[in-house]
Structure 1
Amino acid sequence: MKRIFFFGDNLHGGGAELFTVELIKALKKDGYDIKFFLLNAENIRLDVEDVDIVDLSIQFNNSVLRVKGKSLNREKIEFLKSLEIKYRPDILIFIAPMSYWLERFFLTKNKYFWIHGDFFDFNIKNRVKFLNILNVLNILNEYRKIFLEKKGARILFLNKKIIVVNKDLFSFFLKSKLTQSVTFIRNGLPDIKFCKSFTPSIKKFDAVYVGRLEKDKRVELAIKFFSESKLTGCLAIVGDGSELYNLKALVQSLKLEKRVVFFGWLYNPQQIIAQSKILLLTSKYETFGLVVTEAHILGLSVVAFNSSSGVSEQFLTVESRIGLVEQDDFTGFVSALNLVYDLPYFIPIKLLKTYTMSRVLIDFKKNIAN
């Protein structure tokens, strides 16, 4: 029986965190000995029954790829080393960005970074909107940040083993020539979700957004597109985050108070998703966005920006791709929303089973824990 250490940042309820918890449960059921170490185990909002969690009480500062703010005192380093000596793990998997900085303190040879997000934007044009002489200081500052982030990426990933969740990241790491190996494993949902779809006869909401209410998710676009579309019903917003106040102000300015409902973060958002007709995904970049498949299982059509290969590959039929919109084509998104509202599509469950946890386990045991 192999012993595996997982390392994460927290369990506040994000998609990657939910996937990790479900994967750990599946691995334990399959006979693996798993321990899950968190930098911060406060405010756990997921079902972690039977998951062996250890709170490391570690806080790293600064952005993910900046070396500054990632040091530990001697006492904490010795504690980490004692864990390795005590439990003698066969595999170490660092599953969340800040936890990557713990890897250097362990001697176990079989170590992996599982990349669930894209924080490798080294293109100056993506980081500075206006490249002109008046913006020269901002441009120089961004060049400086890019230099430091590239340095951090080399320190973290040079000659290391990487697991990625979409083909874009797979290509990025292959071309970078940084890593020792790159393995592609799609995310997956618990198998029980595929037993049958739950589609209530009454659809309370024309559209739904599910996810963090943060700037990179661009939830304000979901609200604006909804207001500009032909949809006359209500929009449900499930999630919380720093943009909540701004989003509520936007709803008020558009006079949509009676048509937009904020549910906050929900442990089980499936009930709200199932009572909706269309899922909206407006992120600037979504590494995988497994909520797309979850919506498809529940009988919804999805309208999403084509923000990564992880998102696009979940539109499994020709009919469904009417809901896949080129990135930042705002007019196209509204048009697709109107079209999907008139011509909803359906993806058979048998096609969606590409994204089961059983398939994740097969790939994991074949490539990682063989």
Structure 2
Amino acid sequence: MKKYLFIQDHLYGGGAEQICIDTAVALKEKGHDVTVLLLDSNNIRTAYPEDLNLIKFDIAPAFMQGSIKKNKLKSVPLEQQAELTQIINDLAPDTVIAGHSHAFWLAPILTGNVWFWVHGDSLGLVRKQNLGFFKYLEALKKFMQCKKACNYLFKGKQLIVVNQDIKNLIQQHIQEATVKVIHNGIDVKRLKSNLPDDESIMIKKWDAIFVGRLSEEKQPDVAIKAFAESGLTGRMAIVGDGPLLDELIHLAETLGLTKRVDFLGWQDQPNRFIQQSHCLVLPSRTEGSPLIVAESLILNVPVVAFNCCEGVEHQLSSGELAQGLVALNDMQALSQRLYQVVTHPYVIREQDIQRLNISEMVKAIEEL
């Protein structure tokens, strides 16, 4: 038995939060002593079991603001830093896993077998392309600031990343970091806990479904446009909330889809909506190792996705699943593939599903 401590930013309801809880629960079920410490216990939307040891530490609010280039530790009183250190010392964990963004600024005060869990572009090391001159200079300045902060935090440290692209990026820009790729896995029991045992009684309501934050990097507008151009005559579901909601509603109106696109808002259990869909579409320009792709496949719902990172490519690399991969930002190919997969879905085999199970991931965590 080992002692694990997960230091988690928050449980606002995203994929990084879900995989933290799923991993903690899976380790606990294998007999390990597991604690999750929340830096912000407000607005909890990710469910967790009552018997999971959860500490609501609630660090100084300023620590939870801004990007990685900001020295967040300066906003935490020395007394609270000492309190956190004492809690960790009392727990005496064999392994500490800190994520998924703000917690990185605890690096200067964390000691022992500490791993920082990077789920996506939270390090600010991905540079946008095709910018005008002044925007290029602004982006370059931000990149250099993030790179400096990352080297301060992670030089000589240990990082878990969820795809090979992130590992390559870190090795290119951060000195002497140890980086291990562990693709996200799915807690199948949690995923199916609220679903009927007999899938045959499930009525398909939507041809396509988008699930995720309605923000620029997820490109939900691309999902709606691809659906509009696909030739499909059914309905589409949009599950999620975010800053682009009003723009997306207007886009649906402009495309004449008001009566065919259902905006369902944020849902704590999107699995039941996925299961009622013929296909999930993921048009993101960047991802880590998105849970929603693996969850859809496990629910026997095909996925069509931009090949935006090694994480997505890994998830769709088995058997016929590769039919769901589309070149990044190729709108025409996305709409055509969406029609193809909805009308003639590819086969999702048991071995395709098994490789996405959290059990494989937990084995890798135990080896840290």
Could you tell me which residue of structure 1 aligns to residue 83 of structure 2?
A: 79
- Relative distance call for 1:362 and 1:317 in structure 2 (3 A) is closer
CA contact (8 A) 2:68 2:124 kept: no
CA–CA distance in structure 2, aligned partners of residues 31 and 66 of structure 1: 38
CA–CA distance in structure 2, aligned partners of residues 221 and 291 of structure 1: 17
CA contact (8 A) 2:73 2:105 kept: yes
Q: Does 1:160 align with 2:157?
A: yes
Amino acid at match of 2:9: D
Could you tell me which residue of structure 1 aligns to residue 40 of structure 2?
A: 40
SS of the equivalent of 2:25 reads helix
CA contact (8 A) 1:4 1:35 kept: yes
- Relative distance call for 1:172 and 1:51 in structure 2 (3 A) is same
Could you tell me which residue of structure 1 aligns to residue 217 of structure 2?
A: 216
Structure 1 residue 201: Cα displacement = 4.9
Q: Which moved more, 1:163-172 or 1:282-291?
A: 163-172
CA contact (8 A) 1:236 1:263 kept: yes
Q: Does 1:8 align with 2:8?
A: yes
1:117 to 100, 112, 120: 120
SS of the equivalent of 1:303 reads strand
Aligned positions of 1:197-216 closer than 5 A: 198=199, 200-216=201-217
1:151 to 148, 152, 172: 148
Q: TM-score, normalised by structure 1?
A: 0.90
Q: Does 1:103 align with 2:103?
A: no
Structure 1 residue 156: Cα displacement = 1.4
CA–CA distance in structure 2, aligned partners of residues 119 and 104 of structure 1: 18
Aligned positions of 1:326-341 closer than 5 A: 326-341=327-342
CA–CA distance in structure 1, aligned partners of residues 130 and 53 of structure 2: 44
CA–CA distance in structure 2, aligned partners of residues 199 and 259 of structure 1: 24
- Relative distance call for 1:123 and 1:359 in structure 2 (3 A) is closer
CA–CA distance in structure 2, aligned partners of residues 224 and 239 of structure 1: 17
Could you tell me which residue of structure 2 aligns to residue 265 of structure 1?
A: 266
Q: Which moved more, 1:143-152 or 1:318-327?
A: 318-327
Instruction: List per-residue Cα deviations over 1:120-139 (Å, max 9, x = no partner).
Output: 55465x25523xxxx43x33
CA–CA distance in structure 2, aligned partners of residues 341 and 123 of structure 1: 33
CA contact (8 A) 2:151 2:174 kept: no
Could you tell me which residue of structure 2 aligns to residue 54 of structure 1?
A: 55
SS of the equivalent of 2:332 reads helix
2:68 to 46, 65, 68: 65
CA–CA distance in structure 2, aligned partners of residues 63 and 158 of structure 1: 21
Q: TM-score, normalised by structure 2?
A: 0.91
CA contact (8 A) 2:107 2:154 kept: no
SS of the equivalent of 1:205 reads coil
Instruction: List per-residue Cα deviations over 1:50-108 (Å, max 9, x = no partner).
Output: 222222222326543213444211221121122123222222111211111112223x3
Aligned positions of 1:128-143 closer than 5 A: 129-130=131-132, 135-136=133-134, 138-143=135-140
Q: Does 1:170 align with 2:167?
A: yes
- Relative distance call for 1:328 and 1:89 in structure 2 (3 A) is same
CA contact (8 A) 1:61 1:68 kept: no
SS of the equivalent of 1:169 reads helix
2:186 to 159, 176, 189: 189
Could you tell me which residue of structure 2 aligns to residue 90 of structure 1?
A: 94
Q: CA RMSD in A?
A: 2.2
- Relative distance call for 1:30 and 1:109 in structure 2 (3 A) is same
Question: Alignment identity in percent?
Answer: 34
CA–CA distance in structure 1, aligned partners of residues 198 and 281 of structure 2: 19
CA contact (8 A) 1:200 1:274 kept: no
CA–CA distance in structure 2, aligned partners of residues 318 and 350 of structure 1: 9
SS of the equivalent of 2:281 reads strand
- Relative distance call for 1:351 and 1:318 in structure 2 (3 A) is closer
CA contact (8 A) 1:188 1:357 kept: yes
- Relative distance call for 1:80 and 1:246 in structure 2 (3 A) is same
Q: Which moved more, 1:250-259 or 1:90-99?
A: 250-259
CA contact (8 A) 2:224 2:252 kept: yes
Question: Where in structure 1 are there 5+ consecutive unaligned residues?
Answer: none
CA–CA distance in structure 2, aligned partners of residues 233 and 241 of structure 1: 25
